[in-house]
Amino acid sequence: MVRFAKGHGTRNDFVLLTDEHDQQPLSAADVRHLADRRGGIGGDGVLRAVRGRHIEGWSGDPDLWFMDYRNADGSVAEMCGNGVRVFAHYLREQGLVPEDADHIDIGTRAGLRTAWIVGDGRVRVAMGRVQAPHETVCVSLEDQSWDAAPVDVGNPHAVVLLPTTDSVAALDLSVSPRWEPADAFPYGVNVEFVAPHGDHRIRMRVYERGVGETESCGTGTVAAARATANAAGERDGVWTVEVPGGEVEVAFVGDEAWLTGPAVIVAHGDMEWPVASERREEEGND
């Protein structure tokens, strides 16, 4: 039996679990089952709340809540911008952090992230330093190819800047984009397709590694805004990013970024794991 919550940030949705003392580590098969939209609960990923001391490689405060994030296919990811907003909201809702705390520090595989509950159902997160080297890679989708800007938001992104929102809407993201050189992203990459849609406003679609097309990607909105700002010759500023699931705000001061957007918990419940034989069969496919 597992107790869960279901939440989303601009319809990028997650299954959330509390496992303070690391008594329920998740296999890739467990994650796939939880994220399965027919046989499980359903989500783009799974967020497990565990104390930092239980995470290999975490050298920060061992008592911090750590966001152990997994993509829907069971793979481990460094960071998730929408996920960390939902995670902060979940910690507050569950009484895992003080109700009157003015900020919430969260451990991630991309480092420490700090969140503020700003009201109106929104959460603001300090996303840390964004790195966007002055180079390009080639991204291909079916018979089309574009130059793309690599951007590191604690996880890897390749941003394709397109001329119109119609050209973004017309893309078929049911298939995975390819990139060259292949070794530019040895562990995969999130690919954003972006077009201008007003003053300091852009529209974006994304293909997330380990998931497929999602209705939003928080780190992807930061990457998209950074690449767009760089192309415009701007360093600081505030950008609104529209995604199929809603919109978020990305602010830059130098290389530092802040992401503000909605975080919603939609359900709580208990789920029975598959019978032991089925779980062994699923784990055998890893």
230 annotated to a ligand binding site: no
Distance CA 56, CA 151 (A): 26
Looking up tokens 């569950």 gives: 94
111 annotated to a ligand binding site: no
* 138 catalytically annotated: no
43 annotated to a ligand binding site: no
- What Cα–Cα distance (Å) separates residue 130 from each residue in 11, 133, 155, 226? 24, 10, 10, 8
Instruction: Determine the distance from the C-alpha atom of residue 107 to the mean position of all C-alpha atoms in its chain, rounded to a whole number.
Output: 14
Residue in 77, 80, 106, 161 annotated catalytic: 80
* SS3 per-residue string spanning 107-166: EECCEEEEEEEEECCEEEEEEEECECCCCCEEEEECCEEEEEEEEECCCEEEEEECCCHH
Q: What is the DSSP letter of 102?
A: S
Cβ(28)–Cβ(12) under 8 Å? no
81 annotated to a ligand binding site: yes
228 annotated to a ligand binding site: no
Distance CA 1, CA 14 (A): 18
Single-letter amino acid code for the residue at 161 = L
109 annotated to a ligand binding site: no
Residue in 46, 194, 217, 250 annotated catalytic: 217
Cβ(171)–Cβ(141) under 8 Å? yes
Neighbours of 272 (CB within 10 A): 7
12 annotated to a ligand binding site: yes
71 annotated to a ligand binding site: yes
Structure tokens at 72: 């829907």
210 annotated to a ligand binding site: no
> Is cis: bond before 262, omega within 30 of 0?
no
Cβ(88)–Cβ(163) under 8 Å? no
209 annotated to a ligand binding site: yes
Distance CA 98, CA 111 (A): 22
Residue numbers in the known binding site for substrate are: 12, 71, 81-82, 155, 190, 208-209, 218-219
Q: Which residues are catalytic?
A: 80, 217
Residue numbers in the known binding site are: 12, 71, 81-82, 155, 190, 208-209, 218-219
